[in-house]
Amino acid sequence: MSELSVVILAADSEQRAVMQVLVDGTSVARAAHTAATYPASATDPLIARLHAVKPEVILVDIPVDSPSGALHAIEVLRQELPDVALFAIGSMSQPQVIVSGMRAGAREFIERPTTTSDLLEAFVRLSTTQRKVKREGPRGKVFTVINAKGGSGATTIAVNLALALQSAHGNVALVDLAPLGHASLHLNLKAPFTVTDAIRNLHRMDTSLLESFTARHANGLQLLAGAVTPAGNDAAATEYARLFDLMAGHFRYVVVDASSRLDAATRLVGNLSETVLLVAHADVASLWSASRVVQFLGENSGRERVKLVLNRFRKIPGFHESDAETANQYFAVSAAIDRGVPLMSQSHTEIARAFHGLAAALTRNDDDVKRSAWSLFKTV
């Protein structure tokens, strides 16, 4: 797997140096070339050099005091290198510059000063939508389940969705990213390893080692368990990017239980996901929280992937039963968790049928439409 090739255009020498360090720091891209000038026309010598470098991404720094040259360069680059993704770097306090940059052809407008996380998320978004890169073959879809607020039921939904997908399609993994993992309890599994162990061994990770880190349920579902003790997570988002790149290459479907975790890793995994299921209750506090989580997840990407799942419906003023499909299954769910027997193991119940329906809805186009797969890296 080779890294994304990036060119940096910035008139300021200090900014060029900083951007090169930030790009290389993402671990998924490398600065292949830098330049202090902006191409003014198709005959500019810099255009010929860029064709020789063959970058996938060009970062164009837009000076605050004189943006016109950089904005014109974006237009020229779009015409002369149409297959290259153009990312503009500039001040968010200049809305007209942002609009002009996007109209000129910038795919992303990234705030200045920029961080490694900002660039990493932009590179991830690029790779999720890239269509012209050669790949090894179809790669797996990722579905992330997250709580609007604590206790909304994300783990229950993630566990049973993963079991339903395994039952229907096979080759499914469940990844527990919760601050304190409970998925293994739901499945009554003793998991000797956790996500943390996998992250620590990324330097030697292959599919065989990945399999050894998972615990297997009776129906074949493979669990990469979550943390067993509450502790701060010091893994970088780049490490999660590499882990999920590997998992998507090995499993047909990957279900992620993010539970109530809201950090850079969750947002990155959300960007990688085909669908994010946001689990909420039908009450004011939960729906208020849901709107804030959607804003967090969608700060730099489209929100169309986020789907709201209403759990434990109850009547509240202004919210009518006709607004939701209801099923009072609280006691069945609670008993299933206590016994370590998932609801999907009770295959003839109404709620098990509901999870089969959810799995079918999420995968309904997979057999009829060729899936566009994501990878953070090109295949060599």
Rounded to whole angstroms, how far apart are CA atoms 107 and 93?
A: 19
Same fold for the pair 4-129 and 141-362: yes
Q: Which CATH number is associated with domain 4-129?
A: 3.40.50.2300
pLDDT, position 47: 95
pLDDT, position 1: 38
pLDDT, position 324: 44
Q: In what order do the strands lie in the sheet with 4-9?
A: 29-35, 4-9, 57-61, 85-90, 108-111
pTM: 0.63
Q: What is the 3-state secondary structure (H, E, C) of 12-72?
A: CHHHHHHHHHHHHHCCCEEEEEEECCCCCCCCCHHHHHHHHHCCCEEEEECCCCCCHHHHH
pLDDT, position 332: 55
In this structure, CATH architecture of domain 141-362:
3-Layer(aba) Sandwich (3.40)
Strand partners, 308: 278
CB atoms within 10 A of CB 336: 22
Rounded to whole angstroms, how far apart are CA atoms 266 and 178?
A: 10
**Rounded mean pLDDT for each run of 10 residues along the chain, 380 residues in total:** 84 94 91 95 94 95 94 95 94 85 88 90 77 54 90 89 92 93 90 89 82 90 88 70 85 93 86 87 80 77 74 55 46 55 65 81 66 46
Strand (E) or helix (H) holding 162: helix 154-169
| Secondary-structure breakdown of the chain: helix, strand, coil percentages, each rounded to the nearest 5 | 40, 20, 40
pLDDT, position 378: 45
pLDDT, position 222: 95
Domains in the chain: boundaries: 4-129, 141-362
Rounded to whole angstroms, how far apart are CA atoms 148 and 315?
A: 19
* Cα first-last separation, the chain: 6
